[in-house]
Amino acid sequence: MNFQFMRIKFVYRLVGLTLIAALIAEAGTTSSYARKNELSDDMPLDSDVFQVPPGYNAPQQVVHITQGDHRGRAVIVSWITPNEPGSNQVSYWDETNLIKRSAEAIVIKYNFYNYTSGYIHHATIEKLKYGTKYYYEVGLDDTKRQFWFITPPKPGPDVPYTFGLIGDLGQTHDSNRTLTHYELNPMKGQALLFVGDLSYADSYPFHDNARWDTWGLFIERNAAYQPWIWTAGNHEIDFVPEQGETKPFKPYIHRFFVPYRASGSTSPLWYSIKRASAYIIVMSSYSAFGKYTPQYKWLTSELEKVNRKVTPWLIVLVHCPMYSSYVHHFMEGETMRVLYEPWFVKYRVDVVFAGHVHAYERSERISNIAFDVVNGKCTPISDESAPVYITIGDGGNQEGLVKKMTQPQPSYSARREASFGHGIFDIKNRTHAYFGWHRNQDGYAVEADSVWLLNRYWKSVKEASVAEL
Ligand SMILES: [Fe+2]
């Protein structure tokens, strides 16, 4: 091999390496879109979104509704009456059969420092038909209020279904813009996956729980008509020993019932549901999750029992992101990632949605599970069995956006932008789902980011069957 040939070979290698480096550098993008640098104020108490319905003891904050069982044939209807318990009945009927049935609510109250809640009603309506529109009514006489919901189709591998995604919503003008954008999005979310940090009532003096009430009034216009699937965030902890409030999650647990027992969980902070072609696992970042804890134990058996032939799309909701390249809250999800990421890869979770960081970010399919303290392997690598991690903590609360990002953008980060917005996860069939992210200041149909996701289970089955040929 002569010197001239070696030099040409070296030049080719150099050009090749430069091209590869350029491709890697272009793998992830940081949006150049710049939001105005203002904090979003909470909407004033006399805003129309906080108006209470007229009439003595009229039911309000009706709903949130949420899924009431594991498979989608029950709905929990929750509402509050301010003055006295009133009726604990919810009557309901399906649109093709006008015979009214009724379900009974349990009625609870709680105190928080100097605040006393209204009468909180939770009624579970069971044995509903799949894929059916139901009307329901709460309240008495002239304060009766009527709403409706549509039950999901029977779980099955190719059932299309569209989920919305919102996190860290709060009750500012931007919160209102985000919710309006979600409502008017032509992709029409059928159920909302909420990734934690709801009202931000804890930001007020003495954790003013009256701001839990205003938040309930604010979301009713959507949450009364489609189920919001709840995840607890750090703003739900409400742990204030100096005020004598030593039971974490007290307002959240009283106000938001979830069907945790149906999935064998012992706490409303972690549970699962099946809905159409999706299996959704909700985790709690702020409850014990180390080895031997109840959450850990539950998740061990939970992941094993998911039947991807019925519900191909395996989705995890958790408040604190396990991958985030923003400076704020950097590495906060690391302990949970170290513990649970190997399971997400093993069980081929499709996507992990998180909030907490008030911005948007989508990862590549990567994993970082090889490290064992002595081998030095602690860098995320491309991994086709791994989920995509999406941070959607940009609902629009009073703390504003986080804009400071780690630099350079890590190669695992596919797209990031500090803007308020919501997401849509649109399942087409067992192999394909589409994710879109929408800023809350563009036209309703405009997507600021989007990606097609290929199902991890059915993709591998397809690969295996091709390999067998
Ligand atoms: Fe948070």
CATH number at residue 316: 3.60.21.10
Cβ atoms within 10 Å of 73's Cβ, excluding its own: 18
| % of the chain at pLDDT higher than 70 | 91
Residue 106 lies inside a defined structural domain of this protein: no
In a domain, 209, yes or no: no
Tell me, yes or no, whether 53 lies in a domain: no
Question: What values do phi and psi take at 444, rounded to 5?
Answer: -65, -30
pLDDT at 276 over 60: yes
Look at residue 27 and tell me if it is in a domain: no
Amino acid at 376: G
Q: Which domain holds residue 274?
A: 159-196+269-468
Task: Domain count for the chain, please give it.
Answer: 1
**In whole angstroms, what is the distance from residue 55 CA to residue 59 CA?**
9
Q: How far is the CA of 133 from the centre of ligand 1 (A)?
A: 34
Residue 354 C-alpha to ligand 1 middle, in angstroms?
10
134 within some domain: no
| Assigned domain for 359 exists | yes
168 alpha carbon to ligand 1 midpoint, in Å? 7
Please report whether residue 173 resides in a domain: yes
Distance 236 CA to ligand 1 centre (A): 9
Assigned domain for 74 exists? no
Active site residue 438: no
Q: Among the options 70, 207, 328, 329, which is catalytic?
A: 329
pLDDT in tens, 52-105: 888 888 877 657 899 999 999 999 999 999 999 999 999 999 999 889 999 999
Greatest mean pLDDT among 15-24, 231-240, 436-445 lies in 231-240
Cα(15) to centroid of ligand 1, in Å? 45
**Rounded CA gap, 393 and 195, in Å?**
8
β-pairing, 111-112 vs 115-116, is antiparallel
Q: Is the pTM of this model over 0.85?
A: yes
Q: In whole angstroms, give the CA distance from residue 169 to residue 167.
A: 5
Local confidence band at 468 (pLDDT 50, 70, 90 cut-offs): low
Q: Could you write out the DSSP letters of every residue in 149-175? A: EEPPPPP-TT--EEEEEE-S-TTBHHH
Give the distance (Å) from ligand 1 centre to CA of residue 272. 21
